[in-house]
Each structure stands twice: as C-alpha cells, then as structure tokens.
Amino acid sequence: MLNILKNIILLTVTAFFIAGCSDSDTPKQGEQYQQLTTTLTQPEVSPVTEVFSLTCGHCRNMEASLPELEKLTGQDIGKVHVTFNDQAQVAALIYYAAVMQLNHKPDEAMMKDLFSAIQLGEGSTISQQKQAIEQVFTSRHMISPYSFDDLQQKALFRYLDQAMEISKQGGFNSVPTFIVNGKYEVLVGGHQDINEIAHTINFLLKQP
C-alpha cells in the first residue's frame, strides 16, 4: 500500500513538472503575441510579414537577423512599411519606389543601403540625404524616386495607399514587429533573441 502511494505521488509530481515545462515553453498571448482586432487579408501580407520603417534603428538592427529567422521558420518573410507619421510615409515612398521597380522586396544589400541613406546621421543636410538615396537607386541602374514622372508617381502612391490601409487596420504603434497569417502580431519586446521570436512565429503558424 505504501509503495502504491509513493508511486501515485511520484507520478503526480512528474506530471506537474512536465506540465510546468510545457506551459513555460508555450508563447503566451499578451506577452509574446497578441491577436489583431482586424484580420489582414491584403495580398501584400505574407504568412509571415515584417512591419518596419527605414527610419527605425531597431528595424535596421533586425534586418541582419532576417535571413536566420527565415531559416528557423522556413518562411520567406514579407515586408510592409509603416506609415504612422509623416516621416515614416516619406521613407515608405522611398522603399516602395524600389519594390515597384523590382516587383519584389529589395535584397539584403539594397535594404542595408536604404537604411544607411535614410539614417544618414546627425549633421547631414537634406541635399546630402537626397544624394545618398539617389545613389542607392542609380548604382543599381534603377530610377531614383526623385526622377519619377507623373505616371510613376501615381503608381508609387498606390503602393503607399495600400501600406497605409494595412498600417491603419493593424493599428501598429511600434516597429519592428511581425504579423503571422494576418491574424497575430508578435510582440518583439517579449523575446530575448531571434530564436525565441522564431519559436513564437512557428507556434502561431499552426494556430487557426
């Protein structure tokens, strides 16, 4: 009888610890992610989409980790540029001027150059920043957004309108962040490193 009681206690304690480990390993709503109030169904929203701004230093740092995040999640991460203030909208026009000509998101090297041009640093003049932005495009045999004709400008503003719609529906107030299946927003601040972010994204990809 005593042995049976010991076995029951041992099984109970073991089950408790297993449950505890399982709970701690599962991303929690409100800590690692939150559900969007409106599901984003726009074609620009991939199963995993980074919401970012070229004006954001944290986004610039995150950019270097995106290839690793794509490996860990097995996803080609899409991009949406936020438009929650005038400065972000101007940067969005620069970004989408590249997307419009490439017909896809810029590669890692171009993104690095775009961040550098937009975040040129204190003491730089408007003329210097414009020159740096133009150099990103012309060095790749692309048209600088400053040289767009009327038709190109109209097409560019359609990209901006789409980004503004996504930003408004998503209610994003900080970047970088990630949207999963158009339903869930990853709370980047609730994670210690890129592996934890990948774990949350993989968890959310399996959610209904």
116 class by beta-carbon count within 10 Å (0-12 exposed, 13-18 middle, 19+ buried): middle
pLDDT at site 136: 98
Max Cα-Cα span within the chain: 89
Position 1 confidence tier, pLDDT thresholds 50, 70, 90: low
Quote the CA–CA distance of 63 and 87 in Å, as a whole number.
20
Are 72 and 178 a contacting pair, CB within 8 Å?
no
The mean pLDDT value for 57-75 works out to 97
10-52 tens-digit pLDDT: 444 444 444 444 456 899 999 999 999 999 999 999 999 999 9
More reliable by pLDDT, 81 or 126: 81
High-pLDDT (> 90) share of the chain, %: 84
Confidence at 121, pLDDT banded by 50, 70, 90: confident
Q: How far apart are CA 72 and CA 197, in angstroms?
A: 10
Q: Give the C-alpha distances (Å, rounded to integers) separating 41 from 36, 102, 137, 143.
A: 12, 23, 31, 31
Does 99 have pLDDT greater than 50?
yes
Domains contained in the chain, CATH given:
2-205 (3.40.30.10)
What confidence category does residue 208 fall into, taking pLDDT thresholds of 50, 70 and 90? confident
**Looking at residue 167, what is its pLDDT?**
94
Average pLDDT of the chain, as a whole number: 90
pTM score, two decimals?
0.86
What does the pLDDT read at residue 19?
Answer: 42
pLDDT digits (tens, 9 = 90+) for 141-178: 999 999 999 999 999 999 999 999 999 999 998 899 99
Residue-wise pLDDT tens digits, 130-148? 999 999 999 999 999 999 9
What's the pLDDT score for residue 124?
Answer: 85
Backbone angles phi, psi at 80, to 5 degrees: -135, 125
User: Residue 143, by phi and psi: left (phi above 0), alpha (psi -120 to 50) or beta?
Assistant: beta
Residue 39 CA to residue 2 CA, distance in Å, equals: 57
